[in-house]
Amino acid sequence: MGRPLTGALGALLSLIGTAAAADPRLDEKVYSPYVLNGVTEFETRLGREVGGPLDGQTTTVLEIEHGFNDRISLAVLGVLANEPGVATRFNGVGVEGVGYLGRIPGVGVDTGLYLEYKHGLAGEDDIAEAKLLLAKTEGRFQGLLNLILERPLGVPKGEGFAEYGYAASATWQTVGALRLGVEAFGDLGSDRSFLGRQGAYVGPQVKWEGRPRFSPVEIDIDAGWLAAVGPARGEAGSQFRFGVELERRF
């Protein structure tokens, strides 16, 4: 196993050991920094808490994204929330952009920047979010790491604390376009309390992409079942995540 690969795995495992609990991050996915020029993507992804006090809480994201060149993509999205005993509702709509920044010389890590503004609905706060996107590919291995900063907007003075978190994955290409690995989501603290003992959701991930015969559309599937770690076990026993993405070049 090469030194860059060992380092990528070590970084992921160290984050898991100190990861966060306050936000289950059901609306998140692990982003790569890459942009597909001229490709429009239609995506639906779902996250659901299983067991514990949050059992059944579900978030669904609907998103349309287009790559305008090799470096910039823009998207519009809507977020639906469902809790047991409460009708499904839109709790946010937003816009997001991904920009590819380039490769770090000497280490082969590709970098990107993600920016999002989400307008809260049904009593939810407006949110500004930024992510540093990192990717390392070596042979059949790919490691992705997103470092997240999220801040509510328009809240009373003294309540708009920034929250920090991460999303990470490490996958290997196995048979054909099938990739197997592990992913993790969690918090790193806030302006009030950074790092320390946090909680996370960590577990196996399956990814596949392919184009049905004679179809102009490529299909990407991403699924995971993540166990709660640390303080997150007070929220739920696990999370189920599933996403489908349709891609077409125009």
Pair of tokens at residue 94? 């937003």
* CB burial of residue 118 (10 Å; 0-12, 13-18, 19+): buried
Pair of tokens at residue 188? 């790193």
Question: CA 141: distance to chain centroid?
Answer: 19
What region, left, alpha or beta, does residue 123 occupy, with left being phi > 0 and alpha being psi -120 to 50 degrees? left
Do 148 and 165 form a contact (C-beta atoms < 8 A)? yes
pLDDT more than 90, % of the chain = 66
pLDDT at 136 over 70: yes
187/231 Cα distance (integer angstroms): 11
Given this model, what pLDDT does residue 23 score? 55
Q: Which residues pair with 59 in a beta bridge?
A: 47, 81
Question: How many domains are contained in the chain?
Answer: 1
Q: Amino acid letter at 198?
A: Q
Domain hosting residue 189, numbered range: 3-249
pTM given for the model: 0.87
Given this model, what pLDDT does residue 5 score? 46
Instruction: Give residues with Cβ within 8 angstroms of 158, minimum separation 6.
Output: none
Across residues 106-129, what is the average pLDDT?
A: 95
- At 60-110, the pLDDT tens digits run 999 999 999 999 999 999 999 998 888 889 999 999 999 999 999 999 999
* CATH number, position 213: 2.40.160.40
Across residues 151-180, what is the average pLDDT?
A: 90
pLDDT at 15 over 60: no
Given this model, what pLDDT does residue 212 score? 85
- At 207-232, the pLDDT tens digits run 999 998 888 999 999 999 999 998 88
The DSSP call for residue 13 is H
Across residues 26-35, what is the average pLDDT?
A: 96
Closest CA to 131 of 188, 215, 62, 202: 188
Across residues 3-29, what is the average pLDDT?
A: 55
Pair of tokens at residue 80? 């639906």
Q: Amino acid letter at 144?
A: L
Burial 21-54 (b: 16+ CB within 10 A, else e): bbbbbbbbbbbbbbbeeeebbebebbbbbbeeeb
pLDDT band for position 19 (cuts 50, 70, 90)? very low
Helix (H) or strand (E) holding 107: none
Given this model, what pLDDT does residue 16 score? 44
3-state class (DSSP) for residue 23: coil
- At 173-202, the pLDDT tens digits run 999 999 999 999 998 988 777 776 777 999
